[in-house]
Amino acid sequence: MTPVSGVETHWDVHGLRLAGLSWGNPESSPVLCLHGWLDNAASFAVLAPLLHGCHVVAPDLTGHGKSARRSADATYQIWDDLPEVLGVVEALGWQRFGLMGHSRGAVIASLFAATFPERVERLVLLDAVGPEPVPESEFPVQMRRFLQDKGRLLERDNRVFASVEEAVASRSEAGISEAAATLLAERNLRPCEGGVTWTTDPRLHGASAVKLTEGQVQAVLQALDMPTLLLLAEGGLGGRHPEVAASAERSIRQLAMERVAGGHHFHMETPLDSVAERIGGFLAP
Percent of the chain at pLDDT above 70? 99
What does the alpha-carbon distance between residue 148 and residue 31 come to, in Å, rounded to a whole number? Answer: 38
* Domains assigned to the chain: 7-133+212-283 (3.40.50.1820)
pLDDT score, position 237:
86
* Cα separations in angstroms, 206 against 40, 67, 110: 18, 19, 22
The tens digit of pLDDT for each residue in 43-83 reads: 999 999 999 999 999 999 999 999 999 999 999 999 999 99
Sheet strand arrangement including 189-192: 160-161, 195-198, 189-192
- pTM to 2 decimals? 0.96
Beta bridge partner(s), residue 19: 10
Give me the percent of the chain exceeding a pLDDT of 90: 91
Query: 108 pLDDT exceeds 50?
Result: yes
Q: At what angle do helices 242-251 and 214-222 cross, to 10 degrees?
A: 50
Q: What is the largest CA-CA distance in the chain?
A: 53
pLDDT of residue 3: 61
175-191: pLDDT as tens digits = 899 999 999 999 999 99
The pLDDT assigned to 78 comes to: 95
User: Residue 174's pLDDT band (boundaries 50, 70, 90)?
Assistant: confident
From residue 210, how far is each of 129, 136, 138, 144 by CA, in Å?
18, 10, 9, 10
Confidence of residue 4 (pLDDT cuts 50, 70, 90): low
Identified catalytic residue from 43, 103, 208, 247: 103
CA dihedral 148, 150, 155, 156 (to 10 degrees): 90
Q: What is the mean pLDDT of residues 199-224?
A: 96
pLDDT average, residue stretch 238-246: 84
pLDDT number for residue 86: 98
Q: Has residue 163 got a pLDDT over 60?
A: yes
208 noted as active-site residue: no
What is the mean pLDDT of the segment spanning 130-153? 94
Contact between 37 and 106 (Cβ < 8 Å): no
What confidence tier does 1 reach under pLDDT thresholds 50, 70, 90? very low
